[in-house]
Amino acid sequence: MKKTKTAERGYHHGDLRDALIHAADDLLAEKGLEGFTLRETARRAGVSPAAPSHHFGGSPGLLTEVAALGYQELANRLKAAGANGSPADRLKAQCVAYVRFAVDFPGRFHLMFRHDLLLKEKPALEAATERAWEALAKTVLAIRNRPDDAELDQDGEAMLIGIWSTAHGFAHLTLDKKLARVVDCCGEEHDDGALETLFPTIIDTLWVKKLG
């Protein structure tokens, strides 16, 4: 079957879709949400200004695809970080991985939690979000000495939300360069030192030792 080409620079339909998603991702990485426009995305992809709306129905559709990429990457990192070691070690590694993701992909990170800008019920976004939550949930189950395939009870759900909130807050403090004063007090030379040493200690104190 012959593939249909678009009018924009000979892109195949799927190629153009991916080009627009990656152009939007790059734009968010460089200029953040405040600098994002469909017109600039189209320009970077080398297509007509109408192309993003044609393929995604407007900004929410395109941004949802970028957010899904973010959750996929986050899920992969959380799963890898939680693959080995004791439950406590896995939890600390996952929390560090969460913050590291935010540092590596600030544009995606800020977008992923702006539900007012996204199509929340998009299947790709829902599936990727679930994978990320599941990676943390399995570690919470392990810490609470529950089977890997068990359902989280009310206390487990509260712990999961609390752990996420802790990592999410630390990520924002890191991105906003608000840790300098704390880092100086703790004898660390830079934010990376706080992430690799101070933050695991915080997780240990808040979520591991009190359950031990």
DSSP 116-134: GGS-TT-HHHHHHHHHHHH
pLDDT for 148 equals 86
Structure confidence at residue 6 (pLDDT): 42
Domain shared by 51 and 17, yes or no: yes
Same domain, 17 and 29: yes
pLDDT digits (tens, 9 = 90+) for 43-52: 999 999 999 9
pLDDT at residue 185 is higher than 90:
no
Continuous segment of H or E residues that includes residue 103: helix 87-104
Residue bearing tokens 């395109």: 62
Confidence grade of residue 107 (pLDDT, cut at 50, 70, 90): very high
In a domain, 110, yes or no: yes
Residues 40 and 74 in one domain: no
How does pLDDT run across 110-125, given as a tens digit for each residue?
Answer: 999 999 999 989 999 9
Using the predicted structure, report yes or no on whether residue 5 has a pLDDT greater than 60. no
Q: Is residue 1 part of a domain?
A: no
| Domain harbouring 145, CATH code | 1.10.357.10
Kindly state whether residues 66 and 53 are assigned to the same domain: no
pLDDT > 90: percent of the chain: 77
Length in residues, the chain: 212
Which of 197, 165, 161 is closest to 179 using CA atoms? 197
Same domain, 68 and 40: no
Tally of domains within the chain: 2
- Please measure the distance between the N-terminal and C-terminal CA atoms of the chain and give it in whole angstroms: 62
- Asked, for residue 70, whether it belongs to a domain, the answer is yes
Supply 156's token pair. Answer: 């487990």
Q: What CATH code is carried by the domain that includes residue 17? A: 1.10.10.60
In this structure, what token pair is assigned to residue 61?
């559709």
**Enclosing domain of residue 15:** 6-57
Neighbours of 72 (CB within 10 A): 18
Q: Is residue 21 part of a domain?
A: yes
Least confident segment among 20-29, 128-137, 188-197? 188-197
- 155 and 202 both lie in a single domain: yes
Q: Which residue has the higher pLDDT, 183 or 111?
A: 111
User: Considering the entire predicted model, what is its pTM?
Assistant: 0.87
pLDDT band at 211 (very low <50, low <70, confident <90, very high): low
Query: 171-176: long-range contacts at Cβ-Cβ below 8 A with a sequence spacing of 24 or more?
Result: 171/98, 171/99, 171/101, 171/102, 171/103, 171/109, 172/102, 174/99, 174/102, 174/103, 175/102, 175/103, 175/106, 175/109
15, 113: one domain = no
